[in-house]
Amino acid sequence: MKGLVVKLIKYFTNTENAGVGRWILVFLARFTVSSFLLYLLYLWGGNYYAKLIAYGAKPVLAIFGHDVIIKKAMSITEDIAINPVVFFSLVIAVMGIKLKKKLSAAILGFLILSAANTLTLSMAFLSVYRESEILWTGTEFFNLTINFFLPIFLWFVLLPLGSVLPLGGRRRE
């Protein structure tokens, strides 16, 4: 049994000279496991991140003479606060990139996602305060964009994926 576990660990941690099929399988397995673990962490500490976003929106709304209602903000940020989990899962799942590069990409991506989440929350409150259906529609579109597109976009932009994908032939450092 111990030998089987060691073989599985090697299989999922070493993708050097792996074919496309194996690379995708290992990536999806790592993505699934990291997503599950990070989601558990989110269930425990996501409330703190949501408060961070809510307090970050305070100065933005203060520019327009409004304030954040924390209780309302917490219900809104539940929907938008999950995108760092997706981004971190993607960063963890990719193989062949040095830890230092992954960490710097993770930190920068987290900051960008947090700023986008803060802007989304600010726009949501502003649309309610201004009673603007157009602003609310724009906020919903922006929310969908950052929840579904931005984590994947940041993953592609911040990590040198071309050097580790098996599709490009030889691997570069």
pLDDT (tens digit per residue) in 104-118: 999 999 999 999 999
Closest alpha carbon to 158 in 121, 107, 114, 83:
107
Burial of 47 (0-12, 13-18, 19+ CB in 10 A): middle
Domain residue spans of the chain: 2-168
Condensed to tens digits (0 to 9), the pLDDT of residues 49-59 reads: 999 999 999 99
Cβ atoms 128, 57 nearer than 8 A: no
For residue 145, what pLDDT band results from cuts at 50, 70 and 90? Answer: confident
Q: What average pLDDT does this structure show over 59-81?
A: 85
172: pLDDT strictly greater than 60: no
Alpha carbons 124 and 8: distance in angstroms, whole number: 47
Least confident of 8-12, 47-51, 75-79: 8-12
Are the C-beta atoms of 150 and 83 separated by less than 8 Å? yes
- Report in angstroms the alpha-carbon separations of 28 from 12, 70, 93, 148, 168: 10, 37, 7, 18, 19
Residue 34 has pLDDT above 90, yes or no: yes
Select the more confidently predicted residue: 14 or 95.
95
The pLDDT of residue 165 is 65
Distance CA 14, CA 30 (A): 12
pLDDT-derived band at 173 (thresholds 50, 70, 90) equals: very low
Q: Hey, what amino acid is at 41?
A: L
Q: Out of 69-73, 121-125, 126-130, 156-160, pick the least confident.
A: 69-73
Q: Is the distance from CB of 97 to CB of 160 less than 8 angstroms?
A: yes
Q: pLDDT value at position 56?
A: 92
Looking at residue 94, the DSSP 8-state letter turns out to be -
Cα–chain center distance at 71: 24
Phi/psi of residue 129, each to 5°?
A: -60, -40
Averaged confidence pLDDT in the chain: 84
